[in-house]
Structure formats: C-alpha cells, structure tokens
Amino acid sequence: MTAMPVMPRPSILSVEPYVGGESKVPGVNRIIKLSSNEGAFGPPPGAIAAIAESAKEAHRYPDGGATAIREAIGRRFGLDPARIVCGNGSDELLSMLILAYGGEGTELVMSAHGFMMYDITGRWAGCRVIKVPERNLTADVDGLLAAVGPRTTMMFLANPNNPTGSILPQSEVERLRAGLRDDILLVLDSAYAEYVTRPDYDPGVRLVDAATNTVMCRTFSKIFGMGGMRLGWAYAPPAIVDVLGRVRGPFNVNASAMAAGIAALAERGWVETSVEHNTRERARVAAALTGAGLKVWPSEGNFLLVDFGTADRAKAADAHLRSRGLIVRAMGGYGLAKCLRVTIGTSEECGLVIEALTAFARG
C-alpha cells in the first residue's frame, strides 16, 4: 500500500514558521534578552500578584465575554467597552481579522518591512500578500494606495512599525484611509502606541470612530510587560465586533491574563515611568551608537534598528554581542540582514549595549 500523507492546504506550506527572539547563548551565564521588545521593567508588580491570586480559581472557565478587562480598557482609554474585543495576544486578533476578511482569492497589502505576522498569517490564510516598497524605511502612502487592486480586501499598517521604528503622522494615516475604497479593511496595529511622544500621532481611535472599515489593535506585551500572558485587544466598529464575536473561540483569553491586565492598567505611574525611561534611554543609545559611527534609524518604539552597512558586519556585531550575553534580533527574515534590532532594556542593559557596540565599531 502506498502511503498517502495527509496534506494541509497548499498555502500553508508556503509559510516559513515565525522565529521568535532567542533567549539562550551556550556557555554564557548571564543572558540579557533584548530581542523581543518586551518592555524594560518586567511585569507590573500588581499584575504578578493578580496572576498568583487567579491561580486559586484555575479550575473555573474564564469569563468568555471578557467583561471586566474590556471595561477596564474602556475606562483607561476612554472607549466604549462594547467596541473592544480581546484576544490571546493581538496576534490572535490579526489572525481572526485575516480569516474573516481575507483568505483565498483576496489580496492583503502591507509595507515592505511591516510586521512579519501579516505576511505569515496572510499567506497561510491563502491571501496574496503584496509588500509595498518604503521610503527611508517608512511606509509610503502613495505606494500603498497604488498597490491596491480589485481583489484587495485588507491593508495592514503597524504604526509605529516594528522592526523599523518609523511612524506615520495622523495626517498621513488619514490620507491613506481616505484614498482606500470603503470596502477595504484598514488594520492599524498600534502595539507601541504608548511609547510615542510625538503630538501629531493618533493610535487609530479617531479613524475607527469615523467610519465602519478601520480597526485598531493594541497589546499588553510591550509597555505593560506581559508578553507571556498573551493579551491583546481590538477597537472596532460594531459590525466588525460582531464578526470577531463569531470567529473567536469562546474562552480565547485566559483568566490570569485578564486579571493581570486589569491590575496592569491600575498600576500607578507605570506607563509614565516606562515612557520617560524609554525616551531617555533610546536617545542615549542612539546618540552613543551614532557617535561610534553606526547608523541608527529614528524610532518611536522601545527598540532601535541599527544599520551595520553589510550583512557580514551585522553578523559579526551579533556574534560580538552574544559573546557578552546580549541577545538582540537579527533582521534577515525582514530583508534587513545588514541591521540588528535592539530592544531598550534597563539603564544598565543599555549601558552594556553601548559598551559592546562601541568596542565593536572601533574594531
């Protein structure tokens, strides 16, 4: 009998699995992980306590409606909880949106160095993913609009973008939305919104409120330091909330994540302290590396994209950092092999990055 393997849909096999930031270096004891933009300070203390407390009720199914966390998010950001949908990380919300509005026969448009999950999820869902060249590693609104075709149903924009750190001002995002057909869903992924200090920025709320075809996605994985809990949320028009309610699993967000999220939002000064730290340390690292002769791209997130000129030199820099226990993110998967992405950690960690890369740049 010939073996007939079970086969997935062909589009699945066109996808390379997502490779996350590494966390180990053989032979090095103290590891400093600056490869996944996880926030500099760990989880908020109140969130740690809430997770421990939630363990006592671990036999109970969580609230499938995520009512308390949606209300807490709504209060914090001044939004109607009825228009908030929570996900097992914002990645899950991105997947649900793509499964609901994309898929076989559709096109998904994104910026060339946009967040990789749009490409991965779009392709396994069966979309044709169109990547639009950027200007200065920044999304090009005219290019994005020109790439739209009759089969385009979705456009994704991370703002600020990971891994480039670049941002579009509100006026440009508005121009993008205005130039898109009404039947194209624009997903604004604002995973780094809290870190932005520019006054001409809006995370997406205004555009979601203005029409029926724009969604904003947010996460607790970055400034709130809870990537391991998997908690993200979308703010969406009512009809899209309805659709997400149909496609999501009934208990997609676990009880500990929701309890931790509520506690994180209640943590006094957490966001303010984190933003202040990030703005200061990001500027310090950027200035030091620039001073050492490296090219550092401007960033509005909690990370910096450092350009070493060639892929070989970036590789050598990566090896040098690793030998000192510093793990950053290689960018080959993003087509930026001559760059490394460095997360802004504590002041001490930033100091170690500066020391290591300055020594490297001096040769």
Ligand X SMILES: *Cc1c(COP(=O)(O)O)cnc(C)c1O
Smallest gap from residue 162 Cβ to ligand X (A): 3
Closer to ligand X by CB, 216 or 321: give it: 216
User: What is the binding site for ligand X (CB under 6 A)?
Assistant: 89-91, 115, 158, 162, 189, 191, 219, 221, 227, 232
Comparing CB distances to ligand X, the nearer of 140 and 189 is 189
CB 164 within 8 A of CB 297: yes
Tell me the residue type at 215: V
When the beta carbons of 72 and 354 are compared against ligand X, the nearer one is 72
Centre a 10 Å sphere on the Cβ of residue 25 and count the other Cβ atoms it contains.
17
d(CA 40, CA 48): 16
For residues 11 and 6, what is the distance between their CA atoms, to the nearest angstrom?
15
Cβ 34 vs Cβ 324: under 8 Å: no
Task: Work out how close the CB of 27 gets to ligand X at its nearest, in angstroms, rounded to a whole number.
Answer: 29
Q: Minimum CB separation from ligand X for residue 307, in Å?
A: 19
Min CB(360)–ligand X separation in Å: 26
Number of Cβ within a 10 Å radius of residue 65 = 12
Instruction: Report whether 350 contacts 281 (CB < 8 A).
Output: yes
Query: Among positive and negative, which fits the CA dihedral 161, 18, 144, 155?
Result: negative
Q: Where are the beta strands (DSSP E) in 207-268?
A: 214-219, 232-235
Q: Cβ closer to ligand X: 21 or 143?
A: 21
Whose Cβ is closer to ligand X: residue 226's or residue 352's? 226
Closest CB to ligand X among residues 73, 356: 73
> How many Å apart are CA 271 and CA 262, to the nearest integer?
14
Is it true that the peptide bond before 169 is cis, omega within 30 degrees of 0? no
The DSSP 8-state label assigned to residue 301 in this structure reads S
Whole-Å CA distances, 319 to 114, 154, 323: 26, 39, 6
Nearer to ligand X, 46 or 232 (CB): 232
Of residues 163 and 360, the one with the C-beta less far from ligand X: 163
Question: What is the nearest approach in angstroms of ligand X to the Cβ of residue 268?
Answer: 23
Distance CA(82)–CA(73), nearest Å, equals 11
Closest distance of CB 90 from ligand X, Å? 4
∠ CA 295-162-145 to the nearest 5 degrees?
A: 105
Residue 316 C-beta: closest distance to ligand X, Å:
26
Per-residue burial over 255-271, b = 16 or more CB atoms within 10 Å of its CB, e = otherwise = bbbbbbbbbbbebeebb
CB 263, min distance to ligand X, A: 17
Closest alpha carbon to 333 in 20, 94, 23:
20
Residue 66: what are its φ and ψ, rounded to 5°?
A: 50, 40
Say which residue the tokens 């979309």 belong to: 127
User: Closest separation between CB of residue 122 and ligand X, Å?
Assistant: 14
Identify the helix (H) or strand (E) that includes residue 152: strand 152-158
State which residue, 329 or 360, has the beta carbon closest to ligand X.
Answer: 329
Least distance (Å) between residue 156 CB and ligand X: 9
Q: Which residue is nearest to ligand X, using beta carbons?
A: 89
Residue 219: beta bridge partners?
232
Quick one: 196 or 352, whose CB is closer to ligand X? 196
Amino acid at 144: L
